[in-house]
A and B are shown apart, each in its own frame.
Chain A
Amino acid sequence: ETGVTQTPRHLVMGMTNKKSLKCEQHLGHNAMYWYKQSAKKPLELMFVYNFKEQTENNSVPSRFSPECPNSSHLFLHLHTLQPEDSALYLCASSHGERNEQFFGPGTRLTVL
């Protein structure tokens, strides 16, 4: 238990659906992250929020839309996804100069 929770743990959706992934951290951190993990590829940083402000958008397609209403919650809104978007989506948070990131368990997303 790392103090970072993600829901749902598994999600299957069609290409025309709209869904949202949720992340919550109970660590008092000020930065939150979304990563995409695909098999045999490096972890891909998607978005970074620091004190609720987006500081990084790593050329992510607009069908992924992040939202950070406060420092404890992070959402990833999904619409009109493609099958190649199927992956494990990991949320992380961090605080302080050392900046080590604490990860949630991930949401396994399958796009049909």
Chain B
Amino acid sequence: GEDVEQSLFLSVREGDSSVINCTYTDSSSTYLYWYKQEPGAGLQLLTYIFSNMDMKQDQRLTVLLNKKDKHLSLRIADTQTGDSAIYFCAERRNNFNKFYFGSGTKLNVKP
């Protein structure tokens, strides 16, 4: 399809791991991104992965990329209440300045 797809909601308990999934559309997309949006704020870049990588780790964040299935995931270890936000997956398609974003996954972390 044309859309970058994400599930709308995820609820986890504090201290557990969260896994947010995304399916993108263009197998030639060179960069894939995860953004975080807290209430009342714009999108904040969390991390990105280049398409020739399978995995990228950055502190509590692990990004996994399956190019064959065009599937991207973001794992947050030891999830905290401050991680509650909306997480957006985005792909940069061939066009230099064109990004495509998913609808966002709202992560709710319960104490």
Residues of chain A having any CB pair with chain B under 8 Å? 2, 4, 6, 31, 33, 40-43, 45, 48, 50, 55-56, 90, 92, 94, 98-106
The contact string, 1 if C-beta is below 8 Å from chain A, for chain B 74-103, is 000000000000001010100011111111
Binds A, one of B13-21, B39-47, B54-62, B64-72: B39-47
Q: Give every chain B residue within 8 A of A55 (Cβ-Cβ).
A: 97
| Interface residues in B, total, Cβ within 8 A | 25
Residues of chain B having any CB pair with chain A under 8 Å? 3-4, 8, 31, 33, 35, 40-45, 48, 88, 90, 92, 96-104
- List 14 contacting pairs A-B, 8 Å CB cutoff, sorted by A: A2-B42, A40-B8, A42-B102, A43-B88, A43-B90, A43-B101, A45-B98, A56-B97, A98-B48, A100-B31, A100-B45, A101-B45, A102-B45, A103-B35
In the complex, besides A42-B102, A43-B88, A45-B99, 11 extra interface pairs with C-beta distance below 8 angstroms are A42-B3, A43-B43, A48-B97, A56-B98, A90-B43, A92-B43, A99-B96, A100-B48, A101-B43, A103-B42, A103-B43
